[in-house]
Structure 1
Amino acid sequence: MATQSESRPQCSVVVPAFQGKHLIRACIVAVLKATEGYNSEILVVESSGDGTSELLAALYPAVIVLTSPLQLSAGQARNLGIQQARGEFLFCVDLDCVVPPDLISCPNLPVGIPTVHGGMPVNL
């Protein structure tokens, strides 16, 4: 995980979270595994006040939690996270998804070309 004082992260992962306290752990564990060995940052945008922020702070202190006092749609939360993301590459993952461990090292990701990639969620 990159800290604010470190250089620009290679990748940022944005996770919108609304009432995700009971689902987000599996997502974060998978994202941590997928970003292992990379200078990365994980940003979770939480707007429900259900304790997700506190849970993440206790279990995953390197995860950046952005909270909103207003309820945000998934799109609004993604946009807020994207605005704060500093990585060269950007990944958006929904809180009920478990990404594959090779997500970032996938050889089919073109370099230098702006692209959007989707994924298939694993239902929790």
Structure 2
Amino acid sequence: MAKKVDLSVIVVSFNTRDLLDKLLVSLKQSRLTPYTLETIVVDNASTDGSRELVKRNFPQIKLIANDRNLGFAAANNKGLRQTRGKYLLLLNSDTQVEPDTLKVMVDFMEANRGFGAATCRVVLPDG
């Protein structure tokens, strides 16, 4: 049986290589200690080099490479079936996380066991 982690992040990607790169860098720079993280990228048959980017620059990330575009919901479901996390986070490939965001969210969920879901503030590029 695979070892459990605290947080599983699922990202669906379709031809968003440059945005995906920025997101994955922001996840890599997250300060999550003492929690553990796994990231799963579900690629919906991208043709822009997204898969190669993940394999080359982020070998620790689990890549699910679909042979066709399954759509957002089906791709997320495929990723969710592969998670090992106590908590799950679905992120769009056009997002980035601040260094402490994930830790704050996991801390909140740990302190509020009666909650089944949480979200965080969304800050758009223009503030």
Aligned positions of 1:25-36 closer than 5 A: 25-34=21-30, 36=32
Partner of 1:23: 19
**Structure 1 residues 39-118: aligned runs within 5 Å:** 39-50=36-47, 51-106=49-104, 109-111=108-110, 112=113, 113-117=115-119
Q: Which has the larger radius of gyration?
A: 2
Shift of 1:22: 2.2
Query: Where in structure 1 are there 5+ consecutive unaligned residues?
Result: none
- Would the aligned equivalents of 1:98 and 1:121 in 2 still touch at CA under 8 Å? no
Q: CA deviation at 1:119?
A: 4.7
Report if aligned partners of 1:31, 1:99 keep a CA contact under 8 Å in 2: yes
How far is the alpha carbon of 1:116 from its aligned partner?
3.6
Report the CA distance between 1:36 and its aligned residue.
Answer: 4.4
Shift of 1:109: 2.1
Runs of 4+ in 1 over 4 A off after TM superposition: none
Which of the two has greater helix per residue?
A: 2
Q: 1:40 to 1:96 in 2, by over 3 A?
A: same
Q: CA RMSD in A?
A: 2.1
Counterpart check, 1:10 vs 2:12: no
CA deviations on 1:13-64 (whole Å, 9 max, x unpaired) are 0000011112211000111222543321100000123221111110010011
Paired positions, count: 119
Q: What is the SS of the residue equivalent to 1:10?
A: strand
Unaligned runs of 5+ in 2: none
Structure number with higher strand proportion: 2
Contact 1:45 1:78 in 2 (8 A): yes
Residue 92 of structure 1, CA deviation: 1.0
